[in-house]
Structure 1
């Protein structure tokens, strides 16, 4: 790993020897992986899955969780109004069916007969309680703004109205009505997202925040929480009271934090892990030759980007942000470093998002790197920075595999235009906590769509979004365009408003998109039922083992 993480642009001239050396190192590493696999004992007659899950979860409370690594566990235990099928598409969950009013603002969900893992019925009141809970300003949920489309959600979350004003009511124990501020057809996508997942009212009211500890955790989905050994694993077991338990194959699952992707790769090859939710990008080609039946990649609705903290004096100047944005050599990062199918990003919304044509990329995106560097130096000079007064900044980044590869390249790109950028790596949770508290100058971030719609990306830069608008970008014209899109029923007209908003954000250099993701998984051929998909959701209820 040392030789990889110290890559800089000087290695372009020595690319072939580096690749050969890495390949040789990989062969030696894998050759040393023939030791006997170590797996926890699986009870006789049961099927057990050992899953590499990326990072250690910060919480298993759906209303506090923010990471995909947390969602993988939570959504195996808890079912929302809708849920994901094996292809990642929305299907009925707790709601067997639903209806929508003519104006698209009132949705009525009819719940199935289902119980929590302690046998208590799941009711519409649990959903009303849960929506009020996540919007309670005292909970300080980072994701609360995602459901501001619900009637009065924003003023309730801001403490301006009581929680009873939220547009959600239980018509009966099995009928839930949700009223919206504006039409939001993507509610069927968000109804399976953690922001709208139910929590058991009778348990949360008894235990408070401690309800999500293993001793008290009650779920309504395929699995129940059994154990959580910090830094080691989270363990779940099959929920016999789940409404579709008879069709759930796997009896027990252990989810392991695997920030070291190469280490996880070896554990998969040895059989210690059955899968891992990531692959170091520059190893995909090698692994396709070494263990092709394990490698799974697919188009993904995700973008890696840099956020500029608007509280930093230098970043109040658009010229500085723009100079840094245009100086990044995205082609080198995706084509020479990552090599996993990622594509350079000059817009923020990825291609392939439903009902959307991305905004035109900035004109400079077509320029050669050398021309961009010249322009970037001129912009910095106009802003007062140069050889006698160099811009000195700090980039805070995640210590996961891909950022460890490409952040030194960005550091070198900025050095080429006279910027002194220091790199500070943090564990993923710590990094994002710093971003949310604005403890950064430049933040290395990534965003995976919560629902298949351009708004899932653009709302991040909305002034009302809160902690996840890391740079605190504010532009009233941008906000107004998103509001117009929210109230537009014509799909094409709505897409036009969103594209205009994205164009404004890109011209402001509010963030610097770097590349569009592919999802990458190592999956043992012993696992059946796995289906690669656009949203990279692989709920364990659909999997089995040979």
Structure 2
């Protein structure tokens, strides 16, 4: 869905930090407690409203849906002890286990009904609302034309939950692992109203951990073992402590002194110093960083030559090798590589458009001049939005320098707190912004659906009828024909890239160091990434 799932996150960038020896350090942690570092703040605990990776990982470990993602793109039972799919692929019936919320009350099928309804309800304004498009009546409900009670979900008793789809959806099993489909307590939402899930004590949890100590604005919080979790006997840790360290040197000092058990490395110097160490883990994600260009707000960005010029102006090799230096690689397309294959061929190879992901400054200058003439301008001032971490500032400074090589273009960097950057991006209050998407599940549609007209994550407002038509075919007529569905999406990405809807920049590798004392961390390239249910310490 990341969830999964993210809009604006801290970017890993250049760091010229001096490093001390980086072998195994004695940890200051006690057995059963692990100290983790995050590069950016937790933004929400609302299952319906998450937009960032930190919130996705937190919810993935403090709450649980019908199914759970595991290795090799497999799903296993979560709250649903089993499920069945009708022969026509349109009805999913989930038989629920007898699980509980963190206050000891039962989690029932009605909580899933309400969770689905709340995520689709237009009053919630959930960015992930589109995930429910195939649920019966979801489109009309989302537009406010039908009541939420008409959504195709129902409870048959306390422990049977049924979902009716308008058309087959082979990837619905993955959707059922994501936070917007999690159960939600209506009484809890009614109790807190607009304050629901804005702090850790205004939320209930049905997962392995409960969130503690988050005020909605502070830089630290905890995952504490949930005594009511149905599989609590297999949860070994008592506490995971999280803290935000926007300064990479501060995090490194804490890690080397033993006050942190984990951190994300920043910059070429840090990464190279840990390579070959048993604590080093390069986490390749099914994630793409890309430039969004606001076509609704800036008239010049509606011109395809201006958009192509901005893309060609960015030297992606320099970005990944010298600015990032973390193992990330230039993007081959909008969809991440090494995620989806058909007949042995990667999606990014089938849907490759070289010009959309290449760097050519001379060509960029020519196209920019041509595009500006077409829009009747000779000068253009743009702002580049991102968060205010040191890493993001390095990233935007590099981008600013690249863009201003184009004649008549001035770019101003706007670095604000992550929560503000996310809010502004969602509202369309930007000219240019660096967004990131990590696939919620290992299927190209997790990326491709984002760029359909009026999708909540299509912040730049790009719209193309041919693209929409191909994606509609992939999700309707060809939904049960894998070969045709694959070709629909391949052709759709080619349309999108040839029109430079966005400028793919790089595929993310998150270099992590983790103390050897910490065992059982499960990492998955898509979705919530980290599963801490089975983490334990060996001291």
Mapped contact 1:258–1:264 kept (Cα < 8 A):
yes
Residues 1:486 and 2:472 aligned together = no
1:534 CA drift (Å): 2.1
1:366 CA drift (Å): 8.6
1:81 CA drift (Å): 0.2
Mapped contact 1:150–1:181 kept (Cα < 8 A):
yes
Quote the residue 1:192 is aligned against: 177
SS in 2 for 1:228: coil
Name whichever of 367-376 and 164-173 sits farther off: 367-376
Quote the residue 1:236 is aligned against: 223
CA distance in 2 between partners of 1:368 and 1:235 (Å) = 43
Quote the residue 2:103 is aligned against: 118
Q: Give the one of 482, 498, 503 matched to 1:507.
A: 498
RMSD over aligned Cα atoms:
2.8
CA gap of 1:35–1:426, structure 2 versus 1, over 3 A, is: farther
Larger RCO: 1 or 2 (CA < 8 Å, sep 6+): 2
SS in 1 for 2:490: helix
1:286 CA drift (Å): 2.8
* 1:153-302 paired onto structure 2 within 5 Å: 153-212=138-197, 213-229=199-215, 230-276=217-263, 278-288=264-274, 292-302=277-287
Q: Give the one of 462, 472, 489 matched to 2:452.
A: 462
CA distance in 2 between partners of 1:319 and 1:373 (Å) = 9
CA distance in 1 between partners of 2:354 and 2:43 (Å) = 41
Quote the residue 2:318 is aligned against: 332
Q: Give the one of 394, 397, 407 matched to 1:405.
A: 394
Q: TM-score, normalised by structure 1?
A: 0.87
CA distance in 1 between partners of 2:71 and 2:495 (Å) = 37
Quote the residue 2:7 is aligned against: none
What's the CA shift string for 1:400-455, capped at 9, x where partnerless? Answer: 45533332222222222222211111222211211111110011111111111111
Mapped contact 1:329–1:410 kept (Cα < 8 A):
no
Residues 1:537 and 2:524 aligned together = no
Residues 1:106 and 2:91 aligned together = yes
What's the CA shift string for 1:139-158, capped at 9, x where partnerless? Answer: 22222122222122122111
CA distance in 2 between partners of 1:179 and 1:254 (Å) = 40
Structure 2 stretches lacking a partner, 5+ long: 1-10
1:37 CA drift (Å): 8.1
1:32 CA drift (Å): 13
CA distance in 1 between partners of 2:488 and 2:410 (Å) = 38
1:378 CA drift (Å): 4.3
1:164 CA drift (Å): 1.3
Quote the residue 1:314 is aligned against: 300
Q: Give the one of 509, 515, 518 matched to 1:524.
A: 515
What's the CA shift string for 1:295-338, capped at 9, x where partnerless? Answer: 21132110011111112111121221111112211121112322
CA distance in 1 between partners of 2:372 and 2:224 (Å) = 61
CA gap of 1:154–1:287, structure 2 versus 1, over 3 A, is: farther
1:162 CA drift (Å): 0.6
Quote the residue 1:11 is aligned against: none
Structure 1 stretches lacking a partner, 5+ long: 8-18
CA gap of 1:524–1:319, structure 2 versus 1, over 3 A, is: same
Residues 1:396 and 2:375 aligned together = no
CA gap of 1:160–1:120, structure 2 versus 1, over 3 A, is: same
1:272 CA drift (Å): 1.3
Mapped contact 2:22–2:273 kept (Cα < 8 A):
no
SS in 1 for 2:507: strand
SS in 2 for 1:254: strand
What's the CA shift string for 1:163-219, capped at 9, x where partnerless? Answer: 111111112211111011222121111211111111123333333344434444321
1:464 CA drift (Å): 3.1
Quote the residue 1:49 is aligned against: 34
CA gap of 1:234–1:326, structure 2 versus 1, over 3 A, is: same
CA distance in 2 between partners of 1:36 and 1:65 (Å) = 36
SS in 1 for 2:489: helix
SS in 1 for 2:161: strand
Quote the residue 2:486 is aligned against: 495
CA gap of 1:344–1:32, structure 2 versus 1, over 3 A, is: closer
The alignment covers a number of residue pairs equal to 515
CA gap of 1:88–1:103, structure 2 versus 1, over 3 A, is: closer
Residues 1:131 and 2:131 aligned together = no
CA distance in 1 between partners of 2:193 and 2:361 (Å) = 58
Quote the residue 1:438 is aligned against: 428
Quote the residue 1:303 is aligned against: 288
Quote the residue 1:449 is aligned against: 439
CA gap of 1:368–1:455, structure 2 versus 1, over 3 A, is: closer
Q: TM-score, normalised by structure 2?
A: 0.88
CA gap of 1:298–1:385, structure 2 versus 1, over 3 A, is: farther
Mapped contact 2:311–2:357 kept (Cα < 8 A):
no
Q: Displaced runs of 4+ in structure 1, greater than 6 A? A: 31-39
Quote the residue 2:82 is aligned against: 97
Mapped contact 2:23–2:277 kept (Cα < 8 A):
no
Name whichever of 488-497 and 348-357 sits farther off: 348-357
Mapped contact 1:145–1:464 kept (Cα < 8 A):
no
